[in-house]
């Protein structure tokens, strides 16, 4: 299960991320509202822990933007604002739960379990396709025609991010955050290595797609088609 935490207190992020990992959750962190909105909008998370007071864009603005775009990822507002009207405003804006700081990690775990077990919400399947190229990130399988490759976990996560954002230039920092986690101290050279590995895979598959370098910015996955298809399914179907 993958969790996004949007919180400007880096020490708090680090401590909660460690606790979530110990409980079996994979967690991404970001510290500004704009980065949080980017990740929440373009990445299939199981739940989001969202602070209200953030630099660049506040949590309520992020929450309302996601709900306007019909993104139904469960969101827990975690904030020091504990007034009755603060809670009402947060829940009316689309939050699934409201957690007042400071809180015990056990309570956070219970609330995550509660919001993620609720049924009836549309979720993105892990199956993606682009110009005949198919990726199953859960099985790390890349398929084009009769050609099938088993990818490493990093290769799979990297290609998933590109396939969810086709023909879009992705900054290096966003890619590193998605694949390695925002709290990771991975060297940027590792990204270049995996881009090289992935390019070899794509070339060997024969698929009409390519990874293009956008100098000074990042990378872009280009295709003969502009549309990426993500299978959607309702829980239980």
**DSSP, residue by residue, the chain:** -EEEEE-S-HHHHHHHHHHHHHTT-EEEEE-SHHHHHHHHHHS--SEEEE-SS-SSS-HHHHHHHHHHTT----EEEEES---HHHHHHHHHTT-SEEEESS--HHHHHHHHHHHHS--S-EEEEEEEEETTEEEETTTTEEEETTEEEEPPHHHHHHHHHHHTSTT--EEHHHHHHHHH-TT----HHHHHHHHHHHHHHHHHHT-SEEEEEETTTEEEEEES-S--EEEEEETT-
pTM (2 decimals)?
Answer: 0.57
Model confidence pLDDT, tens digit, residues 142-156: 999 999 999 988 898
Model confidence pLDDT, tens digit, residues 92-126: 888 889 988 888 888 999 989 888 876 434 344 45
Domains along the chain with CATH numbers: 2-116 (3.40.50.2300), 123-232 (1.10.10.10)
Q: Over 90: is that where the pLDDT of 200 sits?
A: yes
pLDDT at position 143: 93
């Amino acid at each position: 299960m993958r969790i996004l935490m949007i919180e400007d207190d880096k020490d708090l992020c680090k401590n909660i991320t460690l606790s979530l990992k110990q409980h079996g959750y994979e967690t991404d962190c970001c510290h500004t509202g704009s980065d949080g909105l980017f990740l929440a909008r373009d990445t299939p998370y199981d739940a989001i822990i969202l602070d209200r007071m953030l630099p660049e864009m506040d949590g309520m603005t992020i929450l309302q933007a996601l709900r306007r775009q019909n993104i139904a990822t469960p969101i827990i507002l975690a904030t020091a604002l504990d007034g009755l009207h603060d809670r009402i405003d947060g829940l009316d804006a689309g939050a699934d739960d409201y957690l007042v700081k400071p809180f015990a990690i056990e309570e956070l775990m219970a609330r995550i379990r509660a919001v993620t077990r609720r049924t009836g919400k549309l979720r993105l399947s892990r199956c993606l396709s682009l110009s005949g190229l198919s990726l199953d990130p859960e099985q790390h399988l890349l398929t084009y025609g009769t050609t099938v490759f088993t990818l490493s976990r990093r290769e799979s996560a990297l290609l998933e991010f590109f396939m969810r954002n086709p023909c879009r230039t992705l900054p290096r920092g966003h890619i590193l955050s998605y694949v390695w986690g925002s709290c990771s101290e991975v060297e940027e050279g590792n990204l270049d290595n995996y881009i090289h590995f992935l390019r070899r895979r794509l070339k060997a598959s024969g698929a009409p797609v390519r990874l293009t370098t956008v100098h000074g910015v990042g990378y872009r996955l280009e295709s003969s088609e502009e549309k990426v298809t993500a299978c959607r399914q309702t829980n239980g179907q």
